[in-house]
Structure 1
Amino acid sequence: MAIVQAPPAAAPAHPRPASRDTAIDFVRALCVLGVVLLHAIMVGVTVSEGGPLFENASDGTAWIAPLSWLLQVMPLFFVIGGFSGSIAYRRLHERGGSAVDFVAGRVHRLLRPAMYVVAAVALALAALTVAGVPAELIATAGFRYGQPLWFLGVFLLCQALLPWLVSAHRRAPLRAIGALALAAVVVDVVRAATGVEGLGFLNLGFVWLTLQQLGFFLADGSIDALSRKVRGTAGLGALLVLAVTFLAGVYSPDLIANINPPTTALLLVGVAHTSLLSLHRARIERFSRRPLVAGFTGFVTRRAMTIYLWHMPMLLLMAGTTAVFSLTAGISLPALDSAEWWAGRPLWLAVALALTALAALAFSRFETQSPPVATASTHRLVLGTLSGLIGIVLLLVLGTSVATAVIAIALIAGALRLASLSAHVPVRGGTLGLL
């Protein structure tokens, strides 16, 4: 983790204005909305003679593949993360900050809201246990909650490595992104040749780091400097290659299936997304300044991580409430993917968005409050980052239970303590453009 000692980034070749980029903020807000909608539509609740069943409503369906082309926004998420992170790092350096200060700020912005939501989930699981809910259902709820946390862990890793990777981009941009992309391809090839599926999880690093690196090119103006023909050809070429891999059976046309573990198909999606964003950025900028659009963007931008962390607990609350209502009222629930089930999806999605928004309003202060002022050393920061990562991985690998949640909270609290910010850098909550 000597990465945090990397020299600061040079100013972009085509620097952006000091104000926030409203087009990028709007697209990021749409990505957050897309994630919530995708997870909400995948939640399936039915009740049988044996009790309630919580399933993935998209399993074995024909609609998930085309829907994934619309709502698989994670590649763009990481491109924008690279864009925002590199600019935030440069601005922090201009104010006298260092790589240590940047990573410490990221650790606090990402892990502080996570600690509170994990604590809330632990209390909820404990209450369900006391209430006599079957252990199997509690374990299912804990598993479902923990699934989206992969993003928190991977994004934390990417942001911790960002100062070093920005430095590598400054020295040799094509070589840096090429090495990461090649590593991702090699992982896929070896995985396919050996049949060892576990090897694919190495791309939790290589795929997402490559996409973050692509965001650096967007931030320094390199992509916008290309002709519209070149950018359009790159995007169309990525889509054509992607289609060939689908037809050849290399990758699944379901882009959700390509995320666990990540495949290099997501790199092609990221190139296509970035091409579209670059080509239409001026139009998006103008649209993003409309009052209603700006209001939506501002709400989400200030609460992006809180929304991400709380949307799954809200969905689980909805699923549990639906099952209890069905059992107590004696009303049967429609079969998953039936016409009746689809008829109820608009209301389901609306309630999911409303509850998530309310949770974001209630808990966003943990994301935006100023970090404590102390002295952070590189050694402490490395230990803190690793402590936070271990806590997240624990919930992912072992599942979220009261015991694992308590351990994770302790590890995250330790991470926050170790990654306290340097007193000489004025870092205010929300000013660094988290995602």
Structure 2
Amino acid sequence: MSSSAPDLSRRDLTLDLARVTCVLFVVLVHVLMVGIGPGPGGGLVASRPAEQEPWFAAATWAGQVMPLFFVVGGFAAAAGWRSWVRRGGDAVGFVRVRTLRLVQPALPLFVFFAVVLGAATAAGLAPELVAAAAVGAGTPLWFLAAYLVCQAVVPLMARLHARMPRATVLLLAVGVIAVDIARFATGISELGLANLLFVWPLIQQLGFWYADGWFDRRRSAALVAIAAACFAALWPLTTLGPYSASMLDNLNPPTSPLVLLGLAQACVLRLLRPALNRLMGLAVMQRVVYVLGMRLMTVYLWHLPVILALTGLTLVIPGAAPAPSSAAWWWSRPLMFLAALAAVLALSLVIGRWEVLGALGATPGPVAVAAGWMLGLIPPFAVMQWGLGIVFAIGGAVLLAASVLLLRHRPRR
């Protein structure tokens, strides 16, 4: 191994593989959900072909991989926090760096949205098509809001995990259930937003337990039983209970079924670990995972705009755009996936530099870091709740720029 190659000897490469696989699966799902073609009146209409299929809801029980991403993120957060503390770091500095790693790559995306939506509006394109494309392109941004919340609470949750791990999980679970009860009892869907403070941190906490070896100490039969029980519990919750059978619908606001899904996926990941270890023993797999992992935020944030751009390109090439949901459209999806992945990786050669923090000065005070975190949270939260539009795109670009400047600011000595 060359001296410039990364040291992978102390990493659990199966978790790196899981993280990359989750993002690639998200790209694949969105390739299957973006359908733009001629409507009954001759104009273009946007549709979501995969959601129209009868198998879609059942497929989300296996295909909704974001809980697993938060489990893996919890493992990385626990390891990162422990390493940070060993080096003499504090909670404020940790939150500052973790926030920058999320908001800095998002800034050029919001600038791009502001420019494109402004140009589309000025060009007089059909408002309904522009709105549908914008909302679709902004769909993945909920992740930024949820992950910013999770990263901000890592220092607190790590301390609680060290002192009372079971009680911490129990309290978070009670919070999840209480929010769901309040939401469904009142019919006020917005109450479910409070579960941003419980569902994703609870799933992240499962990653803390994974890092501590709890899943390693369970027998395979026990892991299978836990995963089976979680999936079995989803049936009454989604048939007799108030939850949707589609795990995509349970995403925003987040609900209890996602916690069960996260626990089941953590068990399955541990069961597959021996096979994944063998796979990651291959040098070619290590290179692929390393290359994709270094660009993962760019791939996640930019893949939908790239898919929309490629779809638009096919529309101006005669015969290149089959009607959405047709047999030809479904057969074209593997090619669209590969084209989108190649395009976003090429784009990452330019945009990917925003994932690199570079040298940072002394940490700003806690008030400045809290303000920077809040400025970074508002744009993705607004898009998650109300959808992407030109106002949120411009406002988000301004707020994210302010967040980056504030968090990167080097206080005078």
TM-score (norm 2): 0.91
Out of 39, 59, 73, the residue aligned to residue 81 of structure 1 is 73
Residue matched to 1:96: 88
Q: Percent identity?
A: 36
| Deviation by residue 1:368-425 (Cα, 9 ceiling, x = unmatched) | 24153233111111111011111222334454334432221221122122223889xx
Amino acid at match of 1:20: R
Contact 1:242 1:265 in 2 (8 A): yes
CA contact (8 A) 2:311 2:321 kept: no
Q: Distance in 2 between matches of 1:95 and 1:28?
A: 26
Are 1:363 and 2:354 matched, yes or no?
Answer: no
Aligned equivalent of 2:220, options 212, 228, 238: 228
Gaps of 5+ in 1: 1-16, 424-435
- Report the 3-state secondary structure (helix = DSSP H, G, I; strand = E; otherwise coil) of the residue aligned with 1:20: coil
Contact 1:45 1:53 in 2 (8 A): yes
Q: Secondary structure at the match of 1:54?
A: strand
Structural mapping, 1:4-403, within 5 Å: 19-48=10-39, 49-325=41-317, 329=318, 334-403=322-391
Q: 1:420 to 1:318 in 2, by over 3 A?
A: same
Deviation per CA, 1:141-175, whole angstroms, max 9, x where unpaired? 22212221000111011101111111111110011
The 2-side partners of 1:199 and 1:394 are apart by 15
What amino acid sits opposite 1:388 in the alignment? G
Structure 2 distance, partners of 1:371, 1:178, is 40
Task: Answer yes or no: is the 8 Å Cα contact 1:105–1:421 preserved in 2.
Answer: no
After superposition, the C-alpha distances for 1:272-293 in whole angstroms (9 at most, x for unaligned) are 1111112232331221121221
* Alpha-carbon separation, structure 2, partners of 1:301 and 1:421: 27
TM-superposed deviation, 1:50: 4.4
Contact 1:105 1:371 in 2 (8 A): no
Aligned with residue 408 of structure 1, among 390, 396, 399:
396
Q: How many residues align?
A: 403
Q: Which range is displaced more, 272-281 or 250-259?
A: 250-259
CA contact (8 A) 2:34 2:46 kept: yes
Kindly indicate whether the alpha-carbon contact (under 8 Å) linking 1:54 and 1:319 is maintained by their aligned counterparts in 2.
no
What do the CA deviations read for 1:17-59 (whole angstroms, capped 9, x no partner)?
A: 9722211101111001111111111101111334111122233
CA RMSD of superposed structures (Å): 2.2
Within 1, Cα distance between the matches of 2:230 and 2:326? Answer: 35
Return closer, same or farther for 1:229/1:365 CA change in 2, 3 Å cut-off: same
Structure 1 residue 200 displacement after superposition: 2.2
Mapped to 1, the partners of 2:333 and 2:275 lie a distance apart of 31
> d(CA) in 1 for partners of 2:405 and 2:359?
10
Q: 1:306, 1:405 → 2: CA distance?
A: 18
- Name the SS of the counterpart of 2:38 in structure 1: strand
Q: Which amino acid aligns with 1:411?
A: L
* 1:85-132 superposed Cα distances (whole Å, 9 cap, x missing partner): 110111111112111111111111111110011112222223323433
More displaced 10-residue stretch of structure 1: 165-174 or 344-353: 344-353
Query: What's the offset of the Cα at 1:334?
Result: 4.1
Deviation at 1:178, TM superposition (A): 1.0
Distance 2:241 2:52 in 1: 18
Equivalent residues of 2:142, 2:383 under 8 A apart? no
Give the whole-Å Cα distance in 2 for the aligned partners of 1:138 and 1:246: 34
